[in-house]
A and B are shown apart, each in its own frame.
Chain A
C-alpha cells in the first residue's frame, strides 16, 4: 500500500469527482456529501470508464410490491451497460459472484501529518495548515 496525496480538500467539494492516473492506473475520487471514495475507473465487466457514469440510489424489493429506494448517490451506474456498483465497497449488484469494481480507501489527512511522510506527493505542494485527500493503493 502506497499512500498518495491527491489534492487539497477544498479542490474536491461535495458532489464532485476527480479523475487521475496513478502508476498508469485510472482512478476516480468522489466526494459524496463530505465523504470520500476511490474507485478504479474501469468497469470489471467490459472495461468502460465506470466512474463517468451517473450516481444513483439502490432500488430493492424485500417483498413483491414493496420497493425500497436507499443509498441515494452511493451507487455508480456504468456509462455503457448500466451495471450498478456500490461506491463504498465496489460490490456489483448485477453479478456479485463474478465481478467486483476495485475500491480504494480515501482519507482526509492534515498537512502537518503529511509533511512527516511516508507519502507520495511530488505533484502536490503540501502546506502544514491545510487538509489533503489521500488515497491508498
Chain B
C-alpha cells in the first residue's frame, strides 16, 4: 500500500474528506462573521452562542411542536435571525460609532447571557437529536465509510455559501451591500436606508449561524457550550481569510478544515492549536489576511 510519512494513502483520503466536512462548519460560521464585520464593523462574539441556539431551536421544534429536521432547517435560521434582529435593534445599533473593542465586549456579554440561560434550563449534558431517517446509514467508499449525513453537510454548506456569494455579487441588493461596506455615508446619500440594511445584514449573518447549528445538531452533542469552543477558531478563520472578505472566509474555512484534518493524523494533540500557528504566520507575512486588502 502506498504510504505518505507512514500513513496509508487511503486513510489520508478519508481524513482529508473529514477535514473538508469540518471545514463546512467553519465556512458557514465565518461567512456570517465576515458579512457582519464587513458591513457593521462589529466583531460578533455572540456568533457561537447563536450557532448553539440554532441547534437548540431545532431540538425544541422537534420536541415541543413535532417539527421535523427538514422544516427545522428552514425555520430555525429564520427564528435565530429574527432574534438577531432584535439584538441588533436594541443593543448593537448603539455602538456603531465606537471602537471595535466595545462591539466585541458587548457581544461577548450577550454570549455569556445566552449560554447561561440555556445552561440553566437544559443542563450541560446535552440533548439527543437523531439523524433524519432519509440520511441515516452511509456509503462504503474504497477508502472509508462515509455517513450519508456528513455528505449532506458538505453539499448543504457549499450550496448556502454559493447562494450567499451569488446574492452579494450578482444582485442589486448585493451591490448595495458591497457599496455600503465601502462607503456607507455615500450610499445613504443615494437614498438607501442604511440602518435598515445593517439590521437585515446582522439578521442574515446570525441566520447563517443558526443554519450551521441545525446542521450540527444530529452529529454533535446539542449542549449550551457547543458554541463557546468553536467561536475562537472561527475568529481565527476570519482573520486568516482577511476580515470582511466574503470569499476569503469561505475558502479559508474549507482550507483550514483540511489542514486541521491532516494535523489530526500526524500530530493529533496539536489539532486545536494549528490554526493559531497559521494565523500568526499569515498575519506576519500578509498583514491583511490571505484575501483581504490592506487597511
Bound together: no
